[in-house]
Structure 1
Amino acid sequence: MSHTLVSVNWLNEHLYDSNIIVLDASYHLPTVQRDPDMEFVEQHIPRALRFDIDEISDQESELPHMLSSAEDFDAAMQDLGVGNGMQVVIYDSVGLFSAARAWWMFRYFGHYEVAVLDGGLPAWIAAGYATESGRGKVQPPPYPFKSKKHPDWTITAEHLKENITSNEYLVLDARAKPRFRGDVAEPRPGMRSGHIPQSTSMPFTELLDSQTGLFKSANEVRERFGQAGADNRPVVVTCGSGVTACVLALGLEVAGLTEPKLYDGSWSEWGSRDDLPVETG
């Protein structure tokens, strides 16, 4: 079973294994004006099914794609044909953007047989492998999906506010540097610009090879986290809405470092609350 990354060659070799399920977890920022669901219908990896992080979320929260309850996640996995013991492979249409969010969700709910397709759909197409269209066909899982969640893997805004003075956690922000500095407007309306005081900028793209879009080697990733101080302190990962922060979480796993806590509300919450301090620069 694979737990972090698999290559397109590996997936092509194992695509029709009976215990493999492939999920397209593509998501785009509001400003991009792309419809990941429509794109999936037009083109996806054979046998893949659609994992919508907006649908598989807490529908009562005003914040985007917050974690659902364990019961709702179990029901969603049953609808997708995902059962205990199955190897899940997740990809997205950007390359490596939102797939890590779905990877992290599976792990949060206790399913560790999950990996991200390195390079995603672009790498699959570049390798010359076939795609298909349509919705895909759900097969009933041999065993039901049963969550065992890890509530200590997340952290609240209130605890992060305390961290500004306690400095217990190293807070890594996966957004692009202009957003971190507050030089540009946030993609969601009503958000202040800037970052959480005492947090450190670490754009998720720094973990990816700029030429291939693939994850850098484990040694390179470990070195980058070491430069940030993540090799000797507990880590919190954050971003705009809890999506690309999970790329950092995946990177920490690839590097063999400690599991971080995710600030699920991320800047969508922090940037919209006037009671929380903001730094720029």
Structure 2
Amino acid sequence: MTDPANPLVSTEWLEKNLATPDVRVVDATYYLPVEDGDARAEYEQEHIPEAVFFDIDAIKDDSNSLPHMLPSPEVFSSKVRKLGLGDGTRIVVYDRKGLMSAPRVWWMFRVFGHRDVYVLDGGLPKWKAEQRPLDDHPVLPEERHFTARFDTTRVRDLNKILGNIESKAEQLVDARSAGRFEGRDQEPWPGRQSGRIPGSYNVPYTNLIDSQSGCLKAPDALRRQFEDAGVDLQAPIVTSCGSGITAAALAMALDILGHRDVALYDGSWAEWGLSDKLPIEKGPEASASVSTER
């Protein structure tokens, strides 16, 4: 049995349930523009049996120039139903990096009202290390109806984040690396400034993953990561990152900790860092260059 209160499933559970009629497996591998990787080609070469490929850069809002912004409920429904992902299915999402982009697809399904969605703990690296089955057979899913119910409480836009700098009603937690958060390292998205949204906290998503197993850390260890960064786990939280991908890993970890007042800033730094009229903070060594112009 899957546990709706736990967004993770183990590799052992998935292998035992691959043939279960209502289980659907999804490869949600994604590569940044600066990375050398072709997620779809790699999926075609090998994937978990009967897995379908969820293209994050295709299931998006085509009217928005920002990368992979959340599509409308109608577009999402139309795209996923063709993948055989619909009402009454238990969806298990994985990616080739472990826990990088799979949480984004988990979050998208949750935004559109599908609760029976899970992430494979450890992802494809753990699955392969355990020598579990793989194949390269083309998957031809049977179309299935998907009822999209958009939960607007899970999403934030630029205006909400800008207003929150003044109101401080929600804590903004950034999943990027410390170097990017402090403005020391160059952004992988072309044309973006370096730095962070004023008042935000930093919990790099990689800090949530056990370096030995590749799985998400235990709840107590997850809790320490947020608390050590200064985050109040009793107060509302908005997660952010480079382009809305790894922010979902923070949202998933918070879900495991029982935190239900969590939203995601979909545009994230790909949107914020593009403008020279938005306030930006940097580390102490760069404090003189902080922009306060809106």
Q: CA deviation at 1:137?
A: 2.0
Moved over 3 A (4+): none
Unaligned residue ranges in structure 2 (runs of 5+): 284-294
Measured in 2, the distance between the counterparts of 1:259 and 1:16 equals 35
Unaligned residue ranges in structure 1 (runs of 5+): none
Describe the superposition over 1:179-225 as per-residue Cα deviations: whole angstroms up to 9, x where unpaired: 11111111111000010010011101111101111001122212323
Measured in 1, the distance between the counterparts of 2:92 and 2:270 equals 28
Match of 2:127 among 124, 127, 130: 124
Contact 1:25–1:102, Cα closer than 8 Å, also in 2 = yes
Measured in 2, the distance between the counterparts of 1:134 and 1:67 equals 30
1:56 paired with 2:59, answer yes
Q: CA deviation at 1:229?
A: 2.4
Relative distance call for 1:75 and 1:2 in structure 2 (3 A) is farther
Give 1:159-174 correspondences, 5 Å limit.
Answer: 159-174=160-175
Query: Aligned partner of 1:206: which letter?
Result: N
Describe the superposition over 1:24-82 as per-residue Cα deviations: whole angstroms up to 9, x where unpaired: 00001111110101110011101100001111100111000000010011111210011
Query: Aligned partner of 1:92: which letter?
Result: D
1:75 paired with 2:61, answer no
Measured in 2, the distance between the counterparts of 1:247 and 1:192 equals 23
Contact 1:208–1:215, Cα closer than 8 Å, also in 2 = yes
Identity %: 42
Figure out how many residues of one structure are paired with residues of the other and give that number.
279
1:220 paired with 2:213, answer no
SS at match of 1:261: strand
Contact 1:89–1:117, Cα closer than 8 Å, also in 2 = yes
Aligned to 1:274: 276
Query: Aligned partner of 1:25: which letter?
Result: A
Measured in 2, the distance between the counterparts of 1:186 and 1:38 equals 26
Aligned to 2:115: 112
Aligned to 1:99: 102
Q: CA deviation at 1:135?
A: 3.2
Measured in 1, the distance between the counterparts of 2:128 and 2:114 equals 28
Q: In angstroms, what is the RMSD of aligned CA positions?
A: 1.1
Measured in 2, the distance between the counterparts of 1:87 and 1:256 equals 21
Measured in 2, the distance between the counterparts of 1:134 and 1:182 equals 44
Aligned to 1:232: 234
Query: Aligned partner of 2:269: which letter?
Result: W
Query: Aligned partner of 2:9: which letter?
Result: V
Measured in 2, the distance between the counterparts of 1:159 and 1:60 equals 20
* TM-score, structure 1 as length reference: 0.96
Give 1:173-188 correspondences, 5 Å limit.
Answer: 173-188=174-189
Aligned to 1:256: 258
1:196 paired with 2:183, answer no
Query: Aligned partner of 1:280: which letter?
Result: K
Aligned to 1:157: 158
